[in-house]
Chains A and B, each alone.
Chain A
Amino acid sequence: MNIDVLAKIVFTSFFFLWNVIEGVKLDTHYPHKLVVLYFYPLWRLLLIGTLVAASYWCHRLGMMMAFAVFFYFMDMQLLLYKEV
């Protein structure tokens, strides 16, 4: 099998499983470093840059990454800022 196709399958499966595992939990625990890094705009820029690069490489991987990034941003927002 072509290494490029294999890598796409591995990365897409990784983010798919990440979304499934984080999605089934009522109370998501992110690693401490991910919580701290959310404050830095450069970290968020890096994430979005990676998302764009991944989308150019493989649209399916981009979709899975977009889900993961969305849930991460939303959870951090709820944890750190949201009132009521």
Chain B
Amino acid sequence: MAPKAQNHLLDFYKKIEYGLHTLLYIVLIVAIIYGQQIPDSIKVYGPNPLYRIIAFILVLAVTLYISPIHGLLLALVIVLYVSFTPGSNGEGYQNSLVTARNQRRWFDEEVLGENPVAYQNDRVTTQAPNT
């Protein structure tokens, strides 16, 4: 690239830098706030190692070339996205609804000091996959 064109590009970047960084802040903040509302069809990429590697490299790049705060927010977006990934339905559970319970705690809950306020049904309808 000719030095003159490079200077023009750098000049252009300097002019839009502030607006670009502000826009990136807004996008990242909105992504964190509404991250849980992303449809499950998009969230399925969370467990894929390739996407994770790309995402973590992106965090490093943003931290190095934009700012550490942008990198921190992007890291938050990515870990939330990965943690919100829907669980596997491989066992074919049908009616695993979360319900309130009032009865006595189970033995393992007493031993481990757990005090749940809700649980998933202990009786579920199962079904073999691909039927």
Chain A residues at the B interface, C-beta cutoff of 8 Å: 26-27, 29, 41, 44-45, 48-49, 51-52, 55-56, 59, 62-63, 66, 69-70, 73-74, 77, 79, 81-84
Contact = CB atoms under 8 A, between A and B. Distances in A.
Contacts of B73: 48, 51-52
Contact of A82 (B35, B68, B87): B87
B59 interface: no
Given A27-B116, A70-B83, A74-B83, 7 more contacts: A27-B115, A63-B72, A74-B80, A84-B87, A84-B89, A84-B96, A84-B120
A56 to B, nearest CB: 7
Contacts, number: 69
A62 B76 contact: no
A11 B83 CA distance: 27
A55 B112 contact: no
B33 interface: yes
Contact of B93 (A63, A66, A84): A84
Contacts of A45: 29, 33
A52 B96 CA distance: 38
Contacts of A41: 33-34
Chain A interface mostly: helix
Interface residues of B, number: 31
A52 B69 contact: yes
B87 A48 contact: no
19 contacts: A26-B113, A27-B114, A41-B34, A48-B32, A48-B33, A51-B76, A52-B73, A56-B69, A59-B68, A63-B72, A70-B83, A73-B36, A74-B80, A77-B84, A82-B86, A84-B86, A84-B88, A84-B89, A84-B120
Contacts of B114: 26-27
Nearest to A59: B68
B56 interface: no
A66 B76 contact: yes
Interface string B73-87: 101100110011011
